[in-house]
Amino acid sequence: MTTPTLYPMRAVPGYASSTKGIQLAIQTGADASDEDLQFFQQLGVEWAMVSEGRAPGLDYSADYYKGIVARFANHGLKVYRIGSMRVHNMPEVTLNLPGRDAKIEEFKQFIRNIGAAGVRYNTYAHMGNGIWSSGKAKGRGGMDARRLDITDAVGWWGDHTFSGELTHGRRYSEEELWDNYTHMIRQIAPVAEDAGVRIGIHPDDPPVYALGGVPRCMFGNFAGYKQAMEIANSPNIGVCLCIGCWLEGGPIGMGNSVIDAIKHFAGAGQLYKVHFRNVSNPMPEPWTETLIDDGYQDMYAVMKALRDVQFDGCIIPDHIPAMLGGPRVGTAYSIAYMRALVQAANVEAGGPA
């Protein structure tokens, strides 16, 4: 029995996809070359997840984002998401540091601007000290892949690195983090609703309870996610479900399997986007990111779960290990594998979505 749900593209008149069900997308920068865009066309993807440019002098206005949308449209690609490093993983907001309210205002204007450009989705992450890694490991055939051993991990975001027991000089309490999140999300949610933009919150990476004195109590486990969604209490605040992050924690660490998380968030109308990736094993042992078919999770089971809940949105390959021949090789491999899984899940379910 399938679980009915709500989906981001259907909620906005005039912004429906030409296809239904699980849709493939790539991620790239606003400065993608014409050859890059042609490559994406050759892969047959319909959607692009675009990161805004960082060149000096960009005004990040609605007109700037409209230009991005128009350029991609000229190459047969629709923009599902525009992301900004400026308003993503903001320690000022997560930890209530100086400049917090200015950052929230910047986030509000960003949401208004992408909404005015016709972009109806944004991914947001709420980590106070970035994504933590332990350098590279050799994967299948010698490819370079991200690894994490919590005993020697270092955090990173933008131009900042984080390390040690106290990345911001002291230990933060769960209560502080919940208060800071509530302060932000209750301002952002009505702006997102007015702008017609849905915001999917990304899991902590890695979902380790405390890193550098910051407990990852909201988006590092299933119970935290549910509470965060209740606090937001908005049809425009939901989940960007990174399968890889969920698998890093594993069903014990996350308090739920990735399959059950899909069922819950989709059933609540909160599943907006999926990062389709795999890892070698769950913590607490060190892990390595893998290609989709080479980790511990049966990714066809994940795809079938998305089909069962009638997910009508985008999935992307993410954190692709480096294969010989450059980044296009891994992208092509991943998209082809994902397309085959989508087709198989649709056939098993009795036909197209």
State how far the Cα of 283 lies from the Cα of 229, in Å rounded to an integer. 25
Q: Domains of the chain, with CATH numbers?
A: 23-348 (3.20.20.150)
pTM (2 d.p.): 0.93
Per-residue pLDDT tens, the chain, 353 aa: give them: 333 333 333 333 223 345 689 999 999 999 999 999 999 999 999 999 999 988 888 999 999 999 999 999 999 999 999 999 999 999 999 999 999 999 999 999 999 999 999 999 999 999 999 999 999 999 999 999 999 999 999 999 988 999 999 999 999 999 999 999 999 999 999 999 999 999 999 999 999 999 999 999 999 999 999 999 999 999 999 999 999 999 999 999 999 999 999 999 999 999 999 999 999 999 999 999 999 999 999 999 999 999 999 999 999 999 999 999 999 999 999 999 999 999 999 999 987 76
Q: For residue 326, what are its two tokens?
A: 């450059």
- Report CA 252 to chain centroid distance, whole Å: 22
pLDDT value for 323: 96
State how far the Cα of 193 lies from the Cα of 112, in Å rounded to an integer. 10
* Residue 292 to residues 6, 49, 115, 279, 346, Cα–Cα distance (Å): 27, 19, 33, 8, 19
Backbone angles phi, psi at 229, to 5 degrees: -70, -35
* Residue 18 to residues 76, 77, 250, 309, Cα–Cα distance (Å): 12, 12, 35, 20
Burial 249-288 (b: 16+ CB within 10 A, else e): bbbebbbbbbbebbbbbbeeebbbbbbbbbbbbbbeebbb
State how far the Cα of 183 lies from the Cα of 191, in Å rounded to an integer. 14
